[in-house]
Structure 1
Amino acid sequence: MKRIYIALISLSSLLLVNCSDDYLDKNPISDVSEESFFLTASDLELYTNGFYLLLPNSSNRNEIFTTDSQCGEIVLNTVSDLMNSSRIVPTTGGGWSWTNLRNINYFLENYEKCSDETAKNRYGGVARFFRAYFYFNMVMNFGDVPWYDKTMEADDQDLYKARDDRQFVVDMIMEDLDWAIANMGDQQYAYEVSKYTALALKSRVGLFEGTFGKYHGIPGYEKYLEAAIDASQELMDNSPYGLYNTGNIEADYANLFRAETAETTEIILAREYTEPLTNGHRANYYTLTGSQGTPGMPKSVVNSYLNADGSRFTDQPDYNIIPFAMETANRDPRLSQTIRTSGYTRVGQSVELAPDLSFSITGYHLTKFVTGANSDGINQNTNDLPVFRFAEVLLNYAEAKAELGTATQTDMDNSIGLLRNRVGMPGLSLAEANANPDVYQETFYPNVSGANKGLILEIRRERRIEMYMEGHRWNDVRRWKAGQSITLPLRGIYLPGAGEYDLDDNGAIDLVVFEGELPSGQIEGAKYFQLGTDINLSPDNLIDPLPGFNDRTFNEDRDYLLPIPTQELQLNTNLVQNPNW
């Protein structure tokens, strides 16, 4: 049975046991833990299983990959509050919740009652990993937050203390992760936290805080970039992980995300889904029905994929008005393994399918994580989803090196070069990137400067492509202080007006765009869309998926952090609201 389901069952079982008649006159759950729990390895495992619920899950349209829609990296037929500039200060909730932390601290105050030293090291590391994971999310969302490393009672004055400085909290996060790394042993797990997961999180935290500090003007950021490099280097040199690569440049990237069982060559920690417990996710349903927001890749992402020879697609004239089949041909193979392009077929089928604008609002029809037709129902996908994978570690390493100014060509070959090699792409030349920075990428990141400007832009391109649809984009935008990038126009495929279109260039009409009345004698297999009603075009004849939302704003002095709920400010007068909320 898979770990994530053990977590759900075990926590429920614990609660049910303590609500049974045998326990009504004995120990409530808090007392059971103190007097008759935490004594065996099984007790420690049972309790820590509940912590896995903190990881991204399959609720809310599959949080693990659809959070990219928050900042327009996946375009939906509705606009998020962030992109619509309509966020408000909540009365309660809003992510300011501490229940999970209390459960973790409670465990850490009691787990050493167990006499099994191996179990204590392992599950003590699991708990510290999750405390670090909890606090990392709090810091990303709120900045300065109170640090608590003990359970708090209502009369404890520390409960009402002011927020601690974010760097202090991040230092505590690093301490927890270092403890886990040093004590957890060398065992490798697909669905459970290990020392390698702790190293991966340390790499992620270090890169986030280092770049956040650099671009938001916070001194002392360098040590976090160094921590990201050290953790990444350890995983690169002394771990069982590498890139999943069978030599099939046209399918390996896609197959990594379609695999029913996590490819543990690369996946450091996965969410596992199994049909018997009806706990699947809905990647297929999300991309193949019209009821999930009709998600599509925006043209700005498509434009960022290099040509197959390593040249920049956007260096050619009129790159924005190239017909779909032509613009997606001879590109980085990850493009055709992420969206439908010419020759696309479903897993287990041979019928070629063109992009379907009924299910993709931009026309760039997503296929990442999509499996065979037997998983097309709601929550029927059972392919595992990655939480941490080795590719991210390589990207973290390359970026931290570039931001510190210590990157060498060997560093690029051992990181970005490996990612590109998997799909048969030429490597990244440090010297060429810095000699000729990409002006198209500059439109997203105008605050990048210095001797490594071109290199940093190329690494950001690589990250955007490699990690697409895995839920990282908004946090990347926040740490890079690139909020204005989410106000740029959202666009889809090029359609020069009403007419018949063979999108995948196979000789058959796939799409008819018409004005006025629906044409009679419709073409079999073609989808019909009325111009101005079903499809809107921009002045340069690109699909405008959200007309009326092209004048979005981003408040640079406010929107990188979330507001603290008003009720929390009333309960704890030592808390100070985030700026300009």
Structure 2
Amino acid sequence: MKKYSILFLAVLATTLTSCSEDFLDRTPLSEVTDENFFQKESDLILFSNSFYRMFPSTSIYNGDSSSDNIIQNTLSEEMRGARTVPTTGGGWSWTDLRNINYFLANYERVPDKNVTKHYGGLAKFFRAYFYFEKVKRFGDVPWYDYVIDPNDTASLEKPRDPRSVVVDNIMKDLDFAIENMKPTKSAYRISKWTALALKARVGLFEGTYMKYRGLKGYEKYLTQAVEAADLLMKESGYKVYSTGKPEKDYLNLFASHSAIEQEVILAREYSTELNIKHNVNYYTITSSYGRPGMPKDLVNSYLMKDGSRFTDKPNYNKIEFAQETKDRDLRLSQTIRTPKYTRIGGNIELAPDLSASVTGYQLIKYVTEAQYDTNSASIVDLPLFRYAEVLLNYAEAKAELGTLTQEDLDKSINVIRARVAMPALVLSAANATPDQYLANQYRNVQNTNKGVILEIRRERRIELYMEDHRWEDIVRWKEGQKLTQPIEGMYFPNTGSYDLDQNGTVDIHIYDGQKPNENQKGVYYVKLGRDLNLSTNSLVEPHPTFRTRVFKEEKDYLYPIPIQELQLNPNLKQNPGW
């Protein structure tokens, strides 16, 4: 039977409301206020389908491309320190919340309480999700758990509530959802397990956000994260997807046209039949669109296949591509093009295409058959919550609490590592010799668990790459300075010809001055200083005009409230520094 699409189901709900209007400024859903609605389960289904629009769609990787994970031909405003206060918009929209609160004020009119329990939990899950997104973006925000009357000036001009009040209410909503929602497993519908996964995510975010800012009481949220993750791990039946093929399983998890429900807790579905598609193939292979690439510092972070550190090698930043990618953590060759790479559905070995990647490290995560290469043609489902993230959240929360044991690592981080045949992470060894390369990136880790926390951050960045987590990780760890560190790519010691995949043919020719007379087929000719820049260390430098960038600690972790909102509500105060 064809799976239901989150996006398709949301489209059905457009008969109820328009997402282009802000519901703080209109009468609530007048089309469905008659006595004939909220009478049966199908009414609850139809109305609640609109909530799924809140999830990210084709821009699911924005958290990576706005940070230091995906480098494109244009640096994000966050990376350049160039954000400004918008006049309107800017994420300060409350339409979804009004929908949810209207639903919660009416759903219990359905007489079957076994039905209403689940949908009440579902609505509170979405209210928690809505507010979590607002807290991450703005910090303090006004909490509303009721439908605002258009004439209720006191509510419309309410000041912002402290984020602690909002987060505590988020957790209460999630507890209600966990208690009342069905424990069914579907990659396209919210369940008890989705609520537990979100609770673990929220608890980890807020606990570390507070800890790295010296705020008291952070332990409460980290403990909630541990408890939610632990319950999901014990009772849900989810597993890390593995078929015993470590060289393919990670890649195939993200290249599957349908979400693999063994691991994926919730996904956004895409379908040729429903004409709901995205653009990942086009985004990663087309020279005219973004040219996304993995940065050198992340490539360096992948361990060797035997578990040793690549950055412990002498002159690790002066190793050419074929050798630097040899015998590494198998997730590297399943995330970027490395020697012997072939497209899914093809048999031709392909070298990295520097015309399609500003760093040279060309992305292959989510990339499928060539028939999906045109713009907005990809149909692989994109994960929103998956089990591996829950394991990472569990391990990190326990490490930050100081309660992490080797047994904890063995049922979390080491399960993830086992998929790609990586050696287990050993707690005592990690803490005995913290990785200085990572310590230079994450300068705020300064406790007895420093070594293992750095290793968990390594695992998190690698495992969750291109899944929209990186920006919020930087924020909660208070590591904004990481975004100002050098942006670099592949190593090319000189001008001349390079066989990147070591198959005996030239892939790229870098020249200075006049272009060589020969014009070999399949060779990408690159003029130094025009098509490609090299740093003084002979590393590709995608953005030489932005060598010096600024992240302002006093303001850049939050976004500004739009000017118009401050004018409409005199009790709103702008975020610090904006």
TM-score, scaled to structure 2? 0.96
Whole-angstrom distance in 2 between the partners of 1:48 and 1:211 = 32
Structure 1 partner of 2:199: 202
Structure 2 partner of 1:2: 4
| Unmatched runs of 5 consecutive residues or more in structure 1 | 17-26
1:131-162 superposed Cα distances (whole Å, 9 cap, x missing partner): 00000010001111100000112321122111
Aligned pair 1:327/2:324, yes or no?
yes
Of the three residues 357, 362, 365, the one matched with 2:362 is 365
1:240-278 superposed Cα distances (whole Å, 9 cap, x missing partner): 201001110000000000001110000000000001232
Match of 1:137, SS state, is helix
Structure 1 partner of 2:228: 231
Whole-angstrom distance in 2 between the partners of 1:149 and 1:89 = 28
Of the three residues 321, 327, 334, the one matched with 1:337 is 334
Structure 1 partner of 2:38: 38
Whole-angstrom distance in 2 between the partners of 1:29 and 1:393 = 36
Whole-angstrom distance in 1 between the partners of 2:419 and 2:528 = 41
- How far apart are 1:15 and its partner, in Å? 5.2
Whole-angstrom distance in 2 between the partners of 1:283 and 1:256 = 15
Of the three residues 429, 433, 441, the one matched with 2:426 is 429
1:350-405 superposed Cα distances (whole Å, 9 cap, x missing partner): 10000000101100000000000011111111111100000000000000000000
Question: 1:30-429 maps to which residues of 2 (within 5 A)?
Answer: 30=30, 32-58=32-58, 63-156=59-152, 157-429=154-426
After superposition, the Cα gap between the structure-2 partners of 1:361 and 1:168, relative to the gap in structure 1 and judged at 3 Å, is same
Instruction: Return 118-127 or 329-338, whichever deviates more.
Output: 118-127
TM-score, scaled to structure 1? 0.96
Whole-angstrom distance in 1 between the partners of 2:62 and 2:501 = 26
1:415-462 superposed Cα distances (whole Å, 9 cap, x missing partner): 110011110000101101110000000111111011100110000000
Match of 2:215, SS state, is coil
Structure 1 segments of 4 or more deviating over 4 A? none
Checking the alignment, whether the CA contact within 8 Å between 1:131 and 1:176 is kept in structure 2 is: yes
- How far apart are 1:31 and its partner, in Å? 5.3
Whole-angstrom distance in 1 between the partners of 2:472 and 2:68 = 13
Match of 2:510, SS state, is strand
Instruction: Return 303-312 or 114-123, whichever deviates more.
Output: 114-123
Whole-angstrom distance in 2 between the partners of 1:85 and 1:420 = 35
- How far apart are 1:29 and its partner, in Å? 4.4
Structure 2 partner of 1:22: none
After superposition, the Cα gap between the structure-2 partners of 1:15 and 1:176, relative to the gap in structure 1 and judged at 3 Å, is closer
Match of 2:60, SS state, is helix
Of the three residues 505, 520, 524, the one matched with 2:521 is 524
Checking the alignment, whether the CA contact within 8 Å between 1:206 and 1:224 is kept in structure 2 is: yes
After superposition, the Cα gap between the structure-2 partners of 1:496 and 1:98, relative to the gap in structure 1 and judged at 3 Å, is same
Whole-angstrom distance in 2 between the partners of 1:580 and 1:447 = 22
Match of 2:61, SS state, is helix
Checking the alignment, whether the CA contact within 8 Å between 1:278 and 1:379 is kept in structure 2 is: no
Checking the alignment, whether the CA contact within 8 Å between 2:7 and 2:268 is kept in structure 1 is: no
- How far apart are 1:28 and its partner, in Å? 9.5
- How far apart are 1:499 and its partner, in Å? 0.5
Structure 2 partner of 1:20: none
1:293-348 superposed Cα distances (whole Å, 9 cap, x missing partner): 10000001100000000001101111001000000000000000000001000001
Whole-angstrom distance in 2 between the partners of 1:32 and 1:458 = 52
Whole-angstrom distance in 1 between the partners of 2:389 and 2:60 = 15
1:499-540 superposed Cα distances (whole Å, 9 cap, x missing partner): 000001111111111112221222222111111100100000
- How far apart are 1:576 and its partner, in Å? 1.4
| Unmatched runs of 5 consecutive residues or more in structure 2 | 19-26
Whole-angstrom distance in 1 between the partners of 2:303 and 2:103 = 49
What is the percentage of aligned positions where both structures have the same residue?
56
- How far apart are 1:47 and its partner, in Å? 0.5
1:154-178 superposed Cα distances (whole Å, 9 cap, x missing partner): 3211221111111111110011111
Checking the alignment, whether the CA contact within 8 Å between 1:395 and 1:416 is kept in structure 2 is: yes
Whole-angstrom distance in 1 between the partners of 2:249 and 2:126 = 31
Match of 1:277, SS state, is coil
After superposition, the Cα gap between the structure-2 partners of 1:526 and 1:45, relative to the gap in structure 1 and judged at 3 Å, is same
Q: Which amino acid aligns with 1:115?
A: P
- How far apart are 1:575 and its partner, in Å? 1.3
Checking the alignment, whether the CA contact within 8 Å between 1:34 and 1:110 is kept in structure 2 is: no
Instruction: Tell me the C-alpha RMSD between the 2 structures.
Output: 1.3
- How far apart are 1:12 and its partner, in Å? 2.7
Match of 2:364, SS state, is coil
Aligned pair 1:571/2:572, yes or no?
no
After superposition, the Cα gap between the structure-2 partners of 1:200 and 1:28, relative to the gap in structure 1 and judged at 3 Å, is closer
Q: Which amino acid aligns with 2:369?
A: G
Question: 1:509-548 maps to which residues of 2 (within 5 A)?
Answer: 509-548=506-545
Match of 2:287, SS state, is coil
Checking the alignment, whether the CA contact within 8 Å between 2:63 and 2:472 is kept in structure 1 is: no
Checking the alignment, whether the CA contact within 8 Å between 1:44 and 1:123 is kept in structure 2 is: yes
Checking the alignment, whether the CA contact within 8 Å between 1:270 and 1:386 is kept in structure 2 is: yes
Match of 2:267, SS state, is strand
Whole-angstrom distance in 1 between the partners of 2:495 and 2:52 = 51
1:67-97 superposed Cα distances (whole Å, 9 cap, x missing partner): 3110121000101111111111111111111
Whole-angstrom distance in 1 between the partners of 2:389 and 2:480 = 22
Q: Which amino acid aligns with 2:32?
A: V
Whole-angstrom distance in 2 between the partners of 1:216 and 1:9 = 42
Q: Which amino acid aligns with 2:39?
A: L
- How far apart are 1:497 and its partner, in Å? 2.0
Checking the alignment, whether the CA contact within 8 Å between 1:514 and 1:529 is kept in structure 2 is: yes
Whole-angstrom distance in 2 between the partners of 1:131 and 1:327 = 46
Whole-angstrom distance in 1 between the partners of 2:217 and 2:184 = 34
Whole-angstrom distance in 2 between the partners of 1:28 and 1:544 = 52
After superposition, the Cα gap between the structure-2 partners of 1:137 and 1:303, relative to the gap in structure 1 and judged at 3 Å, is same
Structure 2 partner of 1:12: 14
Q: Which amino acid aligns with 1:32?
A: V
1:188-221 superposed Cα distances (whole Å, 9 cap, x missing partner): 1110100100000000000000000000122111
